[in-house]
């Protein structure tokens, strides 16, 4: 019998976080495989903040055996989860133990579905495409098909090109035994021009994903100029893309109705913000919670009009309203 998910912050885990209410994946247990903020991109919209280690180097950033032990300690309680998700503080495919962890979950806990949130930049490597074979749903992003717009939005490592990344995603879809959902982050005035949409439409047809998900700004990113698309802009983007299996990802009406949501934690975070404006990183250190955990509470506080975001040199600060 599965139990309601417990809050991992109360159980002393270092590499697991959540469960968090995901807009796309329901109740999701997160696995964080790289330090904040280790990534091959420095996306203008990233809610995790600026990339401090811009790299394509793959290595064992955290001990794989320890991550597996934490998973065993939690999953043996048979929590009620919709997904176990490789995500968190950076690009998970940079971790060389990704495949071993996925195989362990698949073999020992076959009742759980896994998802991988990835920027998709490393699937030009056949080894990485093989490593993700046990993951039920791979969700790579593709924000642009031209080199100019790709560099403006994703600000990648110099070794990466949009053309090669698209080729890698085509190969991933052809080889992967599970599902591939392609995410496109819509930035009005940047990747929704007629020229860029035509290139994206061609790339999507080549990749042939099981699903295309159009996403937009839900939380403050790095660049203040990035804004959320309107409903009309999202609809136009979908229509011009012309791919039948396309959906618009919409924000949930609430993040407070899953068992892991703690009203006490929410009130504690509000008290901290009332004393002084704080970033997600500040709140994470004070509360001892993963940044992704903190965001579900700041989202709820913002939705209730109790806090607002303010851009400053050190990042996005939450201030009391």
Region 215-229: what's the mean pLDDT? 82
pLDDT 10s digits, 98-136: 999 999 999 999 999 999 999 999 999 999 999 999 999
Residues shown for the chain: 321
* pLDDT category of residue 220 using cuts at 50, 70 and 90: low
CA angle 232, 119, 70 (to 5 degrees): 120
Give the pLDDT of residue 6. Answer: 47
Q: What average pLDDT does the structure give for the chain?
A: 88
pLDDT 10s digits, 25-44: 888 899 999 998 899 999 99
Termini Cα distance of the chain: 43
* pLDDT category of residue 5 using cuts at 50, 70 and 90: very low
Q: Cβ distance 31 to 67 under 8 Å? A: yes
pLDDT 10s digits, 267-284: 888 888 888 888 888 887
Give domain limits for the chain: 8-251, 262-321
Tokens 């362990």 — which residue?
104
Give the pLDDT of residue 260. Answer: 58
Q: Is 262-321 in the same CATH topology as 8-251?
A: no
* pLDDT category of residue 151 using cuts at 50, 70 and 90: very high
CA distance 161 to 229: 26
Tokens of 108: 């020992």
pLDDT 10s digits, 233-265: 999 999 999 999 999 987 654 555 555 567 778
Tokens of 189: 């005035």
Mean pLDDT is highest, among 1-10, 194-203, 256-265, 305-314, for: 194-203
Give how far Cα 85 sits from Cα of 80, 190, 215, 245, Å.
14, 29, 18, 22
* CATH code for the part of the protein at 262-321: 1.10.10.10
**The domain 8-251 belongs to what CATH superfamily?**
Aldolase class I (3.20.20.70)
pLDDT 10s digits, 50-82: 899 999 999 999 999 999 999 999 999 899 899
Phi, then psi, of 207 in degrees rounded to 5:
-70, -40
Give the pLDDT of residue 8. Answer: 54
């Amino acid at each position: 019998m599965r139990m309601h998910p417990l809050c991992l912050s109360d159980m002393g885990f270092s590499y697991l976080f959540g469960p968090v209410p995901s807009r796309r994946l329901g109740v999701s247990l997160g696995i964080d495989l790289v330090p904040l903020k280790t990534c091959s991109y420095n996306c203008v919209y990233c809610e995790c903040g600026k990339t401090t280690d811009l790299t394509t180097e793959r290595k064992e950033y955290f001990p794989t055996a320890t991550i597996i032990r934490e998973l065993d300690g939690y999953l043996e309680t048979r929590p009620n989860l919709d997904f176990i998700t490789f995500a968190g503080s950076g690009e998970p495919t940079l971790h060389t133990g990704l495949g071993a962890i996925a195989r362990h979950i698949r073999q020992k806990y076959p009742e759980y579905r896994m998802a991988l949130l990835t920027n998709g930049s490393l699937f030009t490597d056949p080894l990485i495409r093989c490593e993700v074979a046990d993951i039920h749903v791979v969700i790579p992003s593709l924000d642009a098909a031209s080199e100019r717009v790709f560099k403006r939005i994703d600000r990648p490592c110099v070794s990466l090109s949009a053309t090669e990344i698209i080729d890698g995603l085509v190969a991933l879809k052809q080889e992967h035994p599970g599902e591939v959902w392609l995410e496109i982050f819509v930035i009005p005035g940047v990747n929704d021009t007629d020229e860029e949409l035509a290139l994206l439409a061609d790339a999507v047809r080549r990749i042939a994903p099981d699903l295309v998900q159009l996403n937009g700004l839900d939380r403050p990113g790095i660049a203040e100029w990035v804004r959320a698309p309107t409903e009309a802009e999202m609809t136009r983007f979908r229509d011009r893309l012309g791919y039948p299996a396309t959906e618009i990802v919409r924000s949930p009406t609430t993040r407070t109705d899953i068992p892991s949501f703690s009203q006490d934690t929410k009130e504690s975070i509000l008290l901290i913000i009332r004393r002084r404006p704080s970033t997600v990183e500040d709140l994470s250190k004070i509360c001892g919670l993963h940044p992704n955990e903190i965001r579900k509470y700041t989202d709820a506080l913002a939705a209730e009009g109790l806090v607002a975001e303010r851009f400053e040199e050190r990042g996005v600060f939450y201030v009391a309203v």
